């Protein structure tokens, strides 16, 4: 009960005020009708309460306590419901903060969180990280407008979802860039995964009756061989992706530390 009072000081103050008010009214009535003098003139036997009176007083006290407890329980339920509602809203906000609103894929923030988690995992596991950049997407925006470009991105996202493994993290980094994190995979398996994403855009992307030739350049890195931190993986995957894009057509390139330096591609450096 003391904890309940401490948790609900304002309500407890109200209850105390009502109780004191009732006692004050009872005292005023006793003074008004001179009940104290009347009680002093009563004999000892007359002052003793009967069993019925004792039961009535006990019942009244029990009702008061029950009303107090019921009120506190109702308040606790309301507070618990409110806490649950707030927790759900906070969870929804956190999920929204990790989602790309256009494609409903995880966003860059979600990718960074997952990449950072890799460092905390037990050693011995190998993972692959891919950075995907669409080819000819700027032409879609320039010739057909950003509305058509957004529709193309949504179609591309759906195609990528179909070829991604159930355990893969597929995300949109922003613009026409996507990323894939494939868990527990070697380079041969990573090459197979990357080729599936290449194949996803072999056919034209149709939007509102117009076909768009959109390819994809993919840069791939292996964890921990090509990097351990999120920064290293992003930089090196970006380097490999630029090498793939330099060929002028859809391609998958794995990072090779002997062929490139982060200074050449400062977009994620520093």
Catalytically active residues are 176
Name the token pair of 99: 């989602």
Mapped onto helix, strand or coil, the DSSP state of residue 202 is coil
Q: Cis omega before residue 224 (within 30°)?
A: yes
Q: CA 224 to CA 215: how far, in whole Å?
A: 29
Nearest to residue 176, comparing CAs of 213, 150, 147? Answer: 150
Identify the bridge partners of residue 170 per DSSP, sorted by sequence position. 180
Q: CA 7 to CA 201: how far, in whole Å?
A: 60
Q: CA 22 to CA 41: how far, in whole Å?
A: 26
Tell me the CA distances in angstroms from 46 to 52, 86, 137, 231, one per residue in order: 14, 60, 101, 90
Q: Which residues of 214-227 are buried (b: 16+ CB within 10 A; e: fewer)?
A: bbbbbbbbbbbebb
């Amino acid at each position: 009960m003391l904890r309940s009072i401490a948790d609900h000081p304002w309500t407890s103050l109200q209850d105390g005020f009502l109780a004191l008010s009732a006692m004050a009214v009872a005292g005023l009535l006793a003074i008004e009708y001179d009940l104290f003098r009347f009680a002093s003139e009563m004999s000892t036997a007359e002052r003793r309460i009967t069993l019925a009176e004792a039961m009535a007083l006990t019942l009244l006290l029990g009702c008061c306590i029950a009303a107090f407890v019921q009120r506190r329980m109702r308040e606790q339920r309301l507070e618990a419901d409110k806490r649950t509602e707030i927790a759900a809203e906070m969870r929804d906000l956190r999920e929204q903060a990790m989602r790309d609103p256009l494609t409903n894929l995880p966003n860059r923030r979600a990718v960074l969180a997952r990449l950072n988690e890799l460092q905390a995992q037990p050693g011995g596991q190998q993972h692959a990280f891919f950075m995907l950049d669409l080819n000819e997407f700027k032409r879609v925006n320039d010739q057909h407008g950003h509305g058509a470009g957004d529709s193309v991105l949504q179609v591309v996202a759906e195609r990528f979802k179909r070829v991604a493994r159930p355990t893969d993290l597929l995300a949109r980094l922003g613009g026409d860039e996507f990323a894939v994190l494939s868990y527990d995979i070697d380079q041969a398996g990573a090459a197979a995964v990357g080729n599936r994403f290449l194949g996803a855009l072999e056919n034209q992307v149709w939007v509102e009756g117009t076909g768009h030739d959109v390819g994809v350049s993919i840069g791939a890195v292996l964890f921990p061989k090509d990097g351990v931190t999120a920064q290293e993986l992003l930089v090196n995957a970006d380097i490999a992706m630029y090498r793939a894009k330099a060929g002028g057509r859809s391609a998958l390139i794995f990072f090779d530390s002997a062929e490139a330096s982060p200074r050449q591609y400062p977009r994620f450096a520093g």
